[in-house]
Amino acid sequence: MMSRQAIAAPLLFWLASPVLAEAPCAPGRVDLRWPGGGESFVVEVADDSAERARGLMFRESMDPASGMLFVYESPRRAQFWMKNTLIPLDMIFADATGTVTRVHSNAVPGDLTPIDGGEGVAFVLEINGGLAERLGIAPGAVLRHPSVPAALAAWSCSG
């Protein structure tokens, strides 16, 4: 049986390929880029209060190329916790332009300590714990998704 890393490495390479990077935006995918890198994740979108409240609670695993994108109606101070969350997560906080402002790595499953994304958060991408650091995702990276308003987007869906 192949290890998760043996399966994930080719998948992540494929996701970062130029062919996918040039693919049009899709509601079920978030693209990120930064100097020297880029990545795409298949995402579930949490864009109402019930979906945001549940998040990734009770999940026992998540594919390495997957995540959840939290979308807010307007920028705000965003705080998360890991109540009923069973897997470690990285939380990537972004402003209304889709620019990453903070990255919290390896949030501890079950921990009730608030994780503060700061003011002006419009989007939060949750991915498997440790993945942001391994890929090089840091403040200044930009994300694109149809939920990022084209007039504000640092990297718009149209180009």
The closest of 90, 88, 68, 71 to 134, measured between CA atoms, is 90
Neighbours of 153 (CB within 10 A): 21
Q: What is the pLDDT of residue 22?
A: 63
Give the phi and the psi of residue 14 in degrees, each rounded to 5. Answer: -65, -40
Q: What is the pLDDT of residue 2?
A: 41
Q: What is the pLDDT of residue 58?
A: 97
Please check whether residue 153 lies inside any domain of the structure.
Answer: no
What is the Rg, in whole angstroms, of the alpha carbon atoms belonging to the chain?
15
Domain boundaries, position 42: 4-144
Quote the number of domains for the chain.
1
Please check whether residue 155 lies inside any domain of the structure.
Answer: no
Instruction: List per-residue pLDDT tens for the chain, 159 residues long.
Output: 444 444 444 344 434 444 344 678 999 999 999 999 999 999 999 999 999 999 999 999 999 999 999 999 999 999 999 999 999 999 999 999 999 999 999 999 999 999 999 999 999 999 999 999 999 999 999 999 999 999 999 999 986
CB 152 within 8 A of CB 96: yes
Neighbours of 21 (CB within 10 A): 14
Please check whether residue 99 lies inside any domain of the structure.
Answer: yes
Q: What is the CATH number of the domain that holds 22?
A: 2.60.120.1140
CB 30 within 8 A of CB 43: yes
pTM of the model: 0.86
